[in-house]
Structure 1
Amino acid sequence: MKTLDSYLVKLIKAQGPLSIAGYMAEALGNDRHGYYMKQDPFGAKGDFTTAPEISQMFGEMIGLWHATNWLNMGSPAEIHLIELGPGRGTLMQDALRAMKVVHGLREATRVHMVEMSPALRKIQQQNIPAELTPHWHNRIGDVFRQIDGAPVLLIANEFFDALPVRQFQKKDRGWHERLISLTQDEKLTLTLAPVPSPEKLIPAALHRAEEDSIAEICPVGENILMEISEYISKHGGAGIIADYGHDRHGTGDTLQALKSHEYCDILQDPGDADLTTHVNFQRLKEVAEEAGGRVYGPVGQGAFLKHLGIDARANTLMAQANATQKKDITAALHRLTDKAEMGHLFKVMALTDANLGGVIGFSTDEHK
């Protein structure tokens, strides 16, 4: 039995069944054996590839989006650029390069990386220019306490999809939480709590769902977004969230495990496979607005990037490229923006303070 398997078996035997959220937290973030704590999961040699790893154009568009916001904020002399879950630091690297085109912005920018993984921190430290004196933090609250009321620009790309979710299944007596328990031969298995959970935990839009429907909620994600929205609403700034998910409340089991770019059983290799769920953008939007944030979107990633001018950027790159590079640029543009690829399932949502105008990337009818 693998080390984390053994630990989880002992934990369940001692404390009882784990929630799905508890299982995800251990599988991804266990101090010694968690998936993100011990390895680089990105790229061809990893388990999945994110948008910044596909092409520099993605990070450049995000950088230009934030540059526009900084100008619309009146070009404050100090702005804190924060990324949640920065991966290898590729997106930040590309965004900072694009932001150099705006006079004064690079000098005003203070870089913050919210990253708990020691393995990924080492890679990020190699990729982010040392002259910017970037700071690393375990939690977003640590950043806010340090910067003490200064305005922020925030990036969260494929961050919320990896946060632990709780799952509930509807039965005739109500919504029962899905748990991780043990079989007689001490193998991990899914089960249901015998007693239904309070219905208030489930979004009101799902209360009339059919029997056996599965609802997912992400309290950790909601709390993080609440903290971000409250800060931006009070102190100013803008945040961009890009992830895969749905823009309306819905039911379904979206928890999936990925290893070597292939799907696998979620209980098969805890600590050695990535676990993600689809982000409920409708719920994130509600949380942000409740906290006083002004919300834009969500819109499809493809539409957002095209609004920002990714086609023109691709043409500029291809004008300086050889035949092989042109083919790669075209393929990357297709993958990032086409509806059959990442253009529709991946969505982008922005939140700002109430006073920030001129936000680009969202048509007027997409801002409510």
Structure 2
Amino acid sequence: MVANAPNLSEQIDFQIRTAGPMSVATYMGLCLTHPSKGYYRTNDPLGASGDFVTAPEISQMFGELIGFYVAQLFQQMGAPNPVTLLELGPGRGTLMADMLRVLSRLDGFRAALDLRLFETSPTLIAEQKARLADYNGKWITDFDQVGTGPLLVIANEFFDALPIRQFVKQADGWHERVIGLVDGERRFGLNPSPIPESSIPEALHDAEINAVYEVALAGTQIMDRLARTVARNGGAILVIDYGYGRTQTGETLQGVRRHHYADVLDAPGETDLSAHVDFEALSNVAARAGLAVAPLATQGEFLTRMGIGERTQALARANPQAAADLETARNRLVAPDQMGSLFKVFCAHSPGLQPPGFA
């Protein structure tokens, strides 16, 4: 019986046939987090054997510098005990392990640490538990489980994987893009009824016909939950992801499979789906919750201000045989034509804190 169970592609098609076309957000949610067949439930997406490589997997320097960032905030906050350090989507645990190697040298931090990790992938949770076994971490599935003390949040390439809705400008207004079936094949279409113009940001009201507006309600909801907690208890939220600083039109939904771009409608559950992050939307939510928002930085600017050049030189002196590889890794992280400009670094924080790495 189990062997004949429908695969995810068949389940999605059945849902469309019985309930009608589904939103892009519903489709993304099923593809990525279906309880038994979603991409993040059945795959290890990282590294050479996966579909993408993240900054922590490129160099230990990335995690170490974020560790320095956390250390400075911890000291600015008066070394609170306890302090919750929460990572969203921790991957293989590489980023957190590199951070904690730095932070464990800081007086009082190890004793104060309440480590929490938000993850849905059983495969990745197993790797995280093995790599972070010495730190007594707690894996959570709900943001009510973050504790009651000051909260420091790290999210590297997390928000880009949250479901988005897409709206397309037509002569009579904005219509939501949906996914239906045409001759048995999944195809994009439009909901026939336009949404109220008031639902679209005012800056986009004069958009051209066929312009696409993407909104990540899941992302803003998560930011709202975390920002309200930080506003109440103190702390900061650091988000590193690819995206844009101002709300704008443009279609950014993409699929990646085995390090190559893939049709987002093909192979549900086998393809990584993501979209660029609207940092202005996240900023507005955080500000409404009462947080201060640092000027958005590029990843290259942030890592340079945090001292990646000096760290590269120090590691090269200690490991001369690795000097060329270290410089290659540094360039990959900060060069404008690699990850340096595409990736942005966002920080929302308690008023009064001065997060390092921002202008």
Deviation at 1:95, TM superposition (A): 0.5
Amino acid at match of 1:163: L
Cα deviation code 1:249-308 (max 9, x no counterpart) = 111110000011100111111100100000011111111101111111211000001111
Query: Which blocks of at least 5 consecutive residues in structure 2 are unaligned?
Result: none
Deviation at 1:198, TM superposition (A): 2.0
Establish whether residue 330 from structure 1 lines up as the match of residue 327 from structure 2: yes
Match of residue 34, structure 1, among 16, 30, 38: 38
Asked whether the 8 Å contact 1:297–1:348 carries over to 2, the reply is no
Cα deviation code 1:157-212 (max 9, x no counterpart) = 0000000000000000100000010012x111101111111223322211110111
Asked whether the 8 Å contact 1:28–1:275 carries over to 2, the reply is yes
Structure-to-structure mapping, 1:63-74, within 5 angstroms: 63-74=67-78
Establish whether residue 84 from structure 1 lines up as the match of residue 88 from structure 2: yes
Q: In 1, Cα distance between the equivalents of 2:77 and 2:90?
A: 25
Amino acid at match of 2:288: E
* Other-structure match for 1:173: 172
Structure-to-structure mapping, 1:49-68, within 5 angstroms: 49-68=53-72
Asked whether the 8 Å contact 1:65–1:360 carries over to 2, the reply is yes
* Other-structure match for 1:366: none
Deviation at 1:329, TM superposition (A): 0.8
Q: In 2, Cα distance between the equivalents of 1:78 and 1:309?
A: 28
Match of residue 111, structure 1, among 115, 121, 124: 115
| Partner secondary structure for residue 238 of structure 1 | strand
Deviation at 1:2, TM superposition (A): 7.5
Cα deviation code 1:70-98 (max 9, x no counterpart) = 00001112111000011111100000011
Deviation at 1:322, TM superposition (A): 3.9
Asked whether the 8 Å contact 1:299–1:349 carries over to 2, the reply is yes
| Partner secondary structure for residue 207 of structure 2 | coil
| Partner secondary structure for residue 297 of structure 1 | coil
Match of residue 50, structure 2, among 46, 49, 67: 46
| Partner secondary structure for residue 167 of structure 2 | strand
Match of residue 200, structure 1, among 198, 201, 215: 198
* Other-structure match for 1:143: 145
Q: In 2, Cα distance between the equivalents of 1:241 and 1:336?
A: 16
Q: In 2, Cα distance between the equivalents of 1:278 and 1:201?
A: 20
| Partner secondary structure for residue 360 of structure 1 | coil
* Other-structure match for 1:182: 181
Deviation at 1:143, TM superposition (A): 2.1
Establish whether residue 159 from structure 1 lines up as the match of residue 172 from structure 2: no
* Other-structure match for 1:3: 7
* Other-structure match for 2:137: 134
Query: Which blocks of at least 5 consecutive residues in structure 1 are unaligned?
Result: 364-368
| Partner secondary structure for residue 24 of structure 1 | helix
Q: In 2, Cα distance between the equivalents of 1:297 and 1:161?
A: 20
Deviation at 1:339, TM superposition (A): 0.7
Match of residue 353, structure 1, among 336, 350, 354: 350
Establish whether residue 230 from structure 1 lines up as the match of residue 233 from structure 2: no
Cα deviation code 1:204-227 (max 9, x no counterpart) = 211110111000001110010011
Q: In 2, Cα distance between the equivalents of 1:116 and 1:194?
A: 35
Q: TM-score, normalised by structure 2?
A: 0.97
Asked whether the 8 Å contact 1:83–1:113 carries over to 2, the reply is yes
Q: In 1, Cα distance between the equivalents of 2:118 and 2:348?
A: 19
Match of residue 341, structure 2, among 329, 338, 344: 344
Q: Percent identity?
A: 42
Match of residue 101, structure 2, among 97, 112, 115: 97
